[in-house]
Amino acid sequence: MNNTKYVFVTGGVTSSLGKGIIAASLAKLLQERGYSVTIQKLDPYINIDPGTLNPYEHGECYVTDDGAETDLDLGHYERFLNIPTSQANNVTTGRIYQSVIDKERKGEFLGKTVQVIPHITDEIKHRIQILGNTGDYDIVITEIGGTVGDIESLPYIEAVRQLEWELGEHNTLVIHLTLVPYLAAAGELKTKPTQHSVKMLMQSGVSPDILVCRSEHEISDDIKRKLALFCNVKKQDVIQSLDAETIYDVPNLMLKEGLDKVVLDKLKLPSDALPHMEKWNNFLQKHKNPKNCVEVGLIGKYVELHDSYKSITEAFIHAGSTHETKVNVRWIHSEELQPETIPEKLKGLNGILVAPGFGDRGIEGKIAAVQYARENNIPFFGICLGMQMAVIEYSRNVLGLAGANSTEMKKGTPHPVISLMEEQKDITNKGGTMRLGAWDCEIKENSKVFDAYNSTMISERHRHRYEFNNEYKEQIEAAGMIATGVNPKTGLVEIVEVPSHPWFVGVQYHPEYKSTVLNPHPLFVNFIKAALEQSKK
Ligand code: GLN
């Protein structure tokens, strides 16, 4: 038995209150006080993972080193904590049920009726404790997705109740995040929704230890006292969380409110050392006081929902801070890019990023954007599908391979410059079957990517089925697009560049997943640097 402590974060009143950011901010403060911390997200939906969800439904699908397709909150956890997460950090109801049903079929419950309580709740408790049982963490923070009162989150709340009972006082605590709305007509902050949501939690046998209250206005002492009295917590355990200018302010705001100290005191852990926020604050200082400004175009087909590209826009922020540069993103829908609209839509951009994606919707617009960037010497960054589009564009317009395409978009294309990997050809299941997670890549010196990474061997995360078709490699390289990064084992092309262009880089992997506040991704850093140079021309 180890001494890992468990903090649960539940949400009440409405969704989208930012449980993930509160959990990540608390974790950051605890980490900078010297504790080892990780964060886990439990999602109450029935998909095994969000990999099969449309980005419009759920925002970006975030991928970990071990190839798990996960909730975008895991991206926040990594960006804040600067440590990798894994499959164990994201569990869905689908996954819980799948493992219970698998066990039932194997006869592990032979003779018993398999039920939500105890079988599903036991599996949830087991999943929560997997991270703690590694012995790597002093504190595991578990965020329960959804809102208290949802039918589908009930088994999770029950599992929390049981774990609190089993692990005993000072080993667990519950933070309940709620909304304290401001009624303009009455000129007042209202506590009733919070009272109701706490009641709902208590009906399930769980009392919150700490309330974090989102609010657009300062919560007065009187209101804190009222919330404390009616929700059965101490006044100092009511923490206000005011709207922040940036999510990266939230750790400092929580420090000011004393959230981390209250948590440590309740867990009976020392809280004398103050968190070392110097590096974080140095990032913030540069992020908030930029000396320069660039505008980059993000070309994608899910641009209506910015969360679909969360890791990319956060990576811009990290890289921008490195150069003390504000990165303004111009969101451009790939379907709106036609030869006649391109000059106007892309005019004035200092950099163009063509985003990842699936399917043929909008791809001609992406190809046209690559051509514009290439011909006008605008820094270009293609990620996954964006890299594939760059290869197609080069094949069509420089090599003259008319109709060149990816077999994902056109099965019978005369020039399948992007095609399905051999091992993908017989796969019919959609979930978790792509090339996923961390793969090595060997880099050629004398390349833009070597300048960025300053290393000849890197490892990056993948999420795709189609690949650069090596049968075209010789021709494409002879025409001036060079494969500067290749998987050392399989020979698959990971990176293409056009050396005659100021900065033209396409990567088959997803660098955005590995950019963090303390380690901005080198390719984003150099892309923004190139955009900055372009802006000065
Ligand atoms: N659709 C492409 C593939 O499967 C690219 C995937 C992506 O951009 N993540 O290979």
Which whole number is the average pLDDT over 337-366? Answer: 93
Query: How many Å lie between the centroid of ligand 1 and the Cα of residue 345?
Result: 25
Query: How many Å lie between the centroid of ligand 1 and the Cα of residue 357?
Result: 6
Question: pLDDT tens digits for 240-262?
Answer: 999 999 999 999 999 999 999 99
- Write down the pLDDT at residue 180: 97
* CA–CA distance, 527 with 516 (Å, rounded to integer): 16
- Whether 432 has a pLDDT exceeding 80, the answer reads no
Active site residue 384: yes
Active site residue 494: no
Cβ neighbour number for residue 195 with a 10 Å cutoff: 17
Question: pLDDT tens digits for 3-16?
Answer: 999 999 999 998 88
* CA–CA distance, 63 with 72 (Å, rounded to integer): 9
- Write down the pLDDT at residue 433: 78
Residues 384, 408, 415, 441: which is the catalytic one?
Answer: 384
Question: pLDDT tens digits for 99-111?
Answer: 999 999 999 999 9
- Answer for the pair 467, 421: CB distance below 8 angstroms, yes or no: yes
Q: Which residues line ligand 1 (CB under 6 A)?
A: 356-358, 384-385, 408, 463-466
- Whether 1 has a pLDDT exceeding 60, the answer reads no
- Whether 302 has a pLDDT exceeding 70, the answer reads yes
* CA–CA distance, 96 with 153 (Å, rounded to integer): 13
* CA–CA distance, 20 with 27 (Å, rounded to integer): 10
* CA–CA distance, 88 with 211 (Å, rounded to integer): 27
- Write down the pLDDT at residue 430: 75
Question: pLDDT tens digits for 185-216?
Answer: 999 999 999 999 999 999 999 999 999 999 99
Question: pLDDT tens digits for 22-77?
Answer: 999 999 999 999 999 999 999 999 999 998 888 888 889 999 999 999 999 999 99
- Write down the pLDDT at residue 56: 84
Largest CA distance in the chain: 76
Give the mutation target among 421, 433, 460, 466 for probing the ligand 1 site: most ligand atoms within 8 A of CB. 466
- Whether 120 has a pLDDT exceeding 60, the answer reads yes
**Per-residue confidence at 217, pLDDT binned at 50, 70, 90?**
very high
Pick the closest to residue 32 from 282, 407, 224, 367 (CA basis): 282
- Write down the pLDDT at residue 273: 83
- Write down the pLDDT at residue 182: 95
For residue 118, say if its preceding peptide bond is cis, omega within 30 degrees of 0: yes
- Write down the pLDDT at residue 16: 86
- Write down the pLDDT at residue 365: 94
In DSSP terms, 38 is beta-bridged to 140
Nearest residue by C-alpha to atom 3 in ligand 1: 464
- Write down the pLDDT at residue 476: 98
- Write down the pLDDT at residue 499: 97
- Write down the pLDDT at residue 388: 98
- Answer for the pair 18, 178: CB distance below 8 angstroms, yes or no: no
Question: pLDDT tens digits for 516-537?
Answer: 999 999 999 999 999 999 999 8
**Per-residue confidence at 301, pLDDT binned at 50, 70, 90?**
very high
**Per-residue confidence at 429, pLDDT binned at 50, 70, 90?**
confident
| Closest ligand 1 atom, residue 356 Cα | 8
- Write down the pLDDT at residue 204: 94
- Write down the pLDDT at residue 52: 86
Question: pLDDT tens digits for 444-485?
Answer: 999 999 999 999 999 999 999 999 999 999 999 999 999 999
Mean pLDDT of the chain: 95
**Per-residue confidence at 421, pLDDT binned at 50, 70, 90?**
confident
- Please report the sign of the dihedral spanned by the C-alpha atoms of residue 503, residue 509, residue 510, residue 514: negative
Which whole number is the average pLDDT over 351-365? Answer: 94
pTM of the predicted model over 0.75: yes
Nearest residue by C-alpha to atom 8 in ligand 1: 356
Cβ neighbour number for residue 133 with a 10 Å cutoff: 14
Active site residue 510: yes
Query: How many Å lie between the centroid of ligand 1 and the Cα of residue 322?
Result: 29
Pick the closest to residue 61 from 463, 514, 364 (CA basis): 463
